[in-house]
Structure 1
């Protein structure tokens, strides 16, 4: 569920009270652990962490006017989601995350392609999410993205 909210702070202000603590902590964990170069902005109606055009002028292949997305977070109706494109594009990172998850959470891993879903905020493995954020630099992500998604 995307929003038409214009800023990340407005998005967080609009969250239900029961979701604010977990979402705020998730935001901070991401900001504290993402490598230098990614920027925070609204992306597809969600708080996102992107490679800005200043670092990757080509932008996102689906819409080159948009910066290259990397991670987004969302408070959806029935879960909190982390959308991590590196997990989707790099099998090594996916394998690492899937093998580490049980060491950090009692919940069963609930994933789609890039979407990691948490039905209960108390089951979010914040430390593991922080480690995941460190797995790809901007340069790594651009290289992986170009190999996986850009058609030459």
Structure 2
């Protein structure tokens, strides 16, 4: 489900009616709980929350013109996806999330490296997502990102 939108509101407006409320609530949960400094935008044709160039002038190593990505929300063909780069990069954070998930939802966690897939839009654990968003500041993410990139490039 690739959509072309210039701003997050336009992205949501273009969603199928049955997904608008869930994606809007997920977006608001993230916006309300991310520490100060992250910015919302359209990033990789999804709703994105990024570290702006004003905080990380080097940008994203794959394309330095882009801000450093952190969280994305996408409406895919069969699910709503939440991409969280902190989970991908921090094993302790991943382990915490995996352990907490069953305490919030009675469905099996469907997850890739950074992607959490919500096939049932009525089972999105908004409270858990809120807690996840509070766990990493922009500076925490920049430090972790730079450590991982520098170690990977050696």
For the residues of structure 2 that align with 1:67 and 1:2, how far apart are their CA atoms?
Answer: 21
- In the other structure, the counterpart of 1:69 is 69
User: What is the CA distance between 1:5 and its match in structure 2?
Assistant: 1.5
- In the other structure, the counterpart of 1:23 is 23
- In the other structure, the counterpart of 1:142 is 142
- In the other structure, the counterpart of 2:48 is 48
Aligned pair 1:60/2:66, yes or no? no
User: What is the CA distance between 1:149 and its match in structure 2?
Assistant: 2.2
- In the other structure, the counterpart of 1:10 is 10
**Contact preservation (8 Å) 2:48, 2:69:** yes
**Contact preservation (8 Å) 2:38, 2:52:** yes
TM-score by length of 1: 0.97
**Contact preservation (8 Å) 2:46, 2:73:** yes
For the residues of structure 2 that align with 1:106 and 1:27, how far apart are their CA atoms?
Answer: 22
User: What is the CA distance between 1:148 and its match in structure 2?
Assistant: 1.2
Structure 2, unaligned runs of 5 or more: none
For the residues of structure 2 that align with 1:34 and 1:51, how far apart are their CA atoms?
Answer: 11
Question: Deviation above 4 Å: which 4+ runs of structure 1?
Answer: none
For the residues of structure 1 that align with 2:44 and 2:56, how far apart are their CA atoms?
Answer: 18
User: What is the CA distance between 1:4 and its match in structure 2?
Assistant: 2.4
User: What is the CA distance between 1:28 and its match in structure 2?
Assistant: 0.4
User: What is the CA distance between 1:7 and its match in structure 2?
Assistant: 1.2
Structural RMSD (CA): 1.0
For the residues of structure 2 that align with 1:32 and 1:148, how far apart are their CA atoms?
Answer: 28
Aligned residues: 152
- The answer to which structure has the higher helix fraction is 2
User: What is the CA distance between 1:56 and its match in structure 2?
Assistant: 0.4
